[in-house]
Amino acid sequence: MENWRTGSRSSQVYVLCVLLVAATACFVAAWVAFDVTPSAVWFVLLLLGVLVLRSVPLALLSCALLVGATAVAVHDGAYGGRVVTSLVLLALCVLLVVQQSTQQRSGLPAALSEPMLAQLRDRLQAQGRVPTLPSPWRSQSAMLTSHGSRYAGDFLVADLRQDRELEMVLVDVCGKGVTVGPQALQFAGALGGLVGALPPDALMRAANTFLLRQDSDESFATAVHLLVDLTSGDYTITSAGHPPVLHWAAELAQWDVDNARGTALGVVPDPELHASTGTLAPGEALMFYTDGVIETRGRDLDDGITWLRDVATHRVLTRGFDGVARSILRDVPRGDDDRAVLVLERISR
């Protein structure tokens, strides 16, 4: 028998038969000893069906349970208030379950569709983890979603080639939390196939074209792309409507604002993209973040950037770079937007 977790037709038939056998056993037990058979057993079988059955077999099981429970009550002549209430509740639950199962757009029961979606999310998020970097490079990142779920509009895509060249894209998709999760997952998958295959400008324009093809008035995102040579420290930053990157200047002990600018992706067919270049010397770092870190009520973006520079400067001067990304997020006032911070550091030898 094919594994029931596949959700195939044969596995659904098998699971339905098992549950019907269990329902028959409960029916016989209740028919023989109605007083000692709890009515909750019908609800338990219905709940199991919700977890493992598609809409059609679930409807068959639900009808069988309702008919069985009613037949037992009529046979025993149990017309008391508790029995009638239980039957009414069971009928109501059956209606709700059948109606909800028909709305299951994945075509799979809850116990199968949720793991499938979670696996897709985990696979796409895995490509967003910055690979282990060769000495003297180090990275750290931290992310908080707006409502505590694991689906967010902020995500990272990263690629390390031959321990010599690091490429990263930090993206903030329009929207917040769970509502933007599917769009962010789709966009992350598309970017994952582009990173490493196209130069920065061409990659950002291809991503822009992808978003323009989406049938939605809110399919746009801000993004910042980094390409850095880990041997020389030379880097190129390409921004598309994203908050400016901060560059830690070790000699001045301050965070300077990078001048890469551009138009958000998914807005116009030919966005303006103005890249910046530089060299990351030993002891220096680059900080990338999303607007949820700097934008709060009563504070505009410029004031938010100033706040972030002050907080990050104090943190680095007092305790160094260890844990700076998470420390910054802890200091961000709670809001209704996703928040992400990424720091790339070239350690002093």
| 107 vs 168, residue with greater confidence | 168
Contact 128, 188 (CB under 8 A): yes
Residue ranges in 132-199 assigned as alpha helix (H) = 181-194
Query: Environment class of residue 253 by beta-carbon count within 10 Å: exposed (0-12), middle (13-18) or buried (19+)?
Result: exposed
Distances (CA, A) of 261 to 15, 45, 93, 244, 312: 57, 59, 55, 7, 22
Q: Are 222 and 264 in contact (CB under 8 A)?
A: yes
- Specify the amino acid at residue 23: A
Architecture per CATH, 127-346: 4-Layer Sandwich (3.60)
Looking at the predicted structure, is the pLDDT value of residue 1 above 50? Answer: no
Coil, strand or helix: which one is 141?
strand
What pLDDT is attached to residue 271? 94
* Average pLDDT for 29-37: 79
- In the chain, what are the domain boundaries? 4-114, 127-346
What pLDDT, on the 0 to 100 scale, is given for residue 256?
96
* Four-residue CA torsion sign, 275, 278, 279, 281: negative
With cut-offs at 50, 70 and 90, classify the pLDDT of residue 7: low
- How many CB atoms lie under 10 A from the CB of residue 115? 12
The strand pair at 221-229 and 234-240 is best described as antiparallel
| DSSP bridge pairs for 261 | 274
Looking at per-residue pLDDT, the higher value among 330 and 176 belongs to 330
Average pLDDT over residues 235-248: 96
Is the pLDDT reported for residue 241 higher than 90? yes
Mean local confidence (pLDDT), 199-226: 89
- At 253 the three-state DSSP class reads coil
Q: What is the pLDDT of residue 333?
A: 73
Report in angstroms the alpha-carbon separations of 38 from 10, 42, 69, 75, 154: 32, 8, 11, 16, 49
**Across residues 33-57, what is the average pLDDT?**
81
Highest mean pLDDT range out of 100-104, 159-163, 192-196, 238-242? 238-242
User: pLDDT band at 2, cuts 50/70/90?
Assistant: very low
pTM here is 0.72
